[in-house]
Structure 1
Amino acid sequence: MEEKLKHYPATVNDEGMYAHSKEVAEAMLGEANVKVAPRSMGSEDFAFYAQRAVGAFFFIGVGNETTMDMVRPAHSPHFVLDEDVLPIGAAFHAAVAIEYLSRS
């Protein structure tokens, strides 16, 4: 019997939430520090959340090329992150939510 696999849907950002998140990031980090990633065909479980609620998927840079030998992909067994970025990422997520709720 053939096993039926549930496929992941495409991860599609809500245009309004994308613009909001980008605006918050640029205000926090400076426009030069916000980069738009190219589209990808990879699957992401965030797509299931985005089907139920307004959302935007973004990456937060966790590498530090001045202190690390090499930045490895997130799903690599050799992945290491610069932990100094964690408070910045947490503050960004909080700011996206706070700004969104204050405008609603």
Structure 2
Amino acid sequence: MVTVNFMEEELRPYPATVNDEGVYSHAKAVAESILGEANMRLCPQVMAAEDFGFYAQKIPAAFFSIGVRGAGMEISHVHTPHLVIDEGALPVGTTLHAAVAIEYLNKH
């Protein structure tokens, strides 16, 4: 005999992740100053669940991503221990995140 356990709690729907215009403009300007406008790309809107939407409901926020696929690489296994990325992107990502925060604090 097989026993199946079901979750008893009600699932909470994830809110849409919506960028605050001011924070988005700030992050974009900082990124362009570091990486150059030619290295910026506007991502298409997608329907996906993301915890960040909960944060953005509480504080002004902007969601952005860093490209981590090297030449000839395929990205798969996202959100698993099997993800393989171009680790050369890590310093770029940390620099960008730190610069966005530091410049925001300098201006406010």
- Measure, in 2, the Cα distance between the counterparts of 1:6 and 1:23: 35
TM-score of the aligned structures, taking structure 1 as reference length: 0.88
- The structure with the larger Rg is 2
Q: Secondary structure at the match of 1:26?
A: helix
**Segments of 4+ moved more than 6 angstroms:** none
In structure 1, C-alpha distance between the alignment counterparts of 2:42 and 2:87, rounded to whole Å: 22
Alignment pair present for 1:96 and 2:91: no
The structure-2 alpha-carbon separation of the partners of 1:56 and 1:27, relative to structure 1 and needing over 3 Å to count, comes to same
Q: 1:55 is matched with which residue: 55, 58, 61?
A: 61
Q: % of aligned pairs identical?
A: 56
Aligned length in residues: 101
Match of 1:80 in 2: 84
1:27 aligns with 2:33: yes
Confirm or deny: 8 A CA contact 1:64 1:71 kept in the other structure. Answer: no
Counterpart of 1:74, as a letter, is V
Q: Residues 38 and 73 (structure 1 numbering): CA distance in 2 closer, same or farther, change over 3 Å?
A: farther
Q: 1 CA distance for matches of 2:77 and 2:87?
A: 16
For structure 1, the residue ranges without an aligned partner over 5 or more in a row are none
Question: Where does structure 2 lack aligned partners over 5 or more consecutive residues?
Answer: 1-7
CA distance in 1, matches of 2:77, 2:35: 23
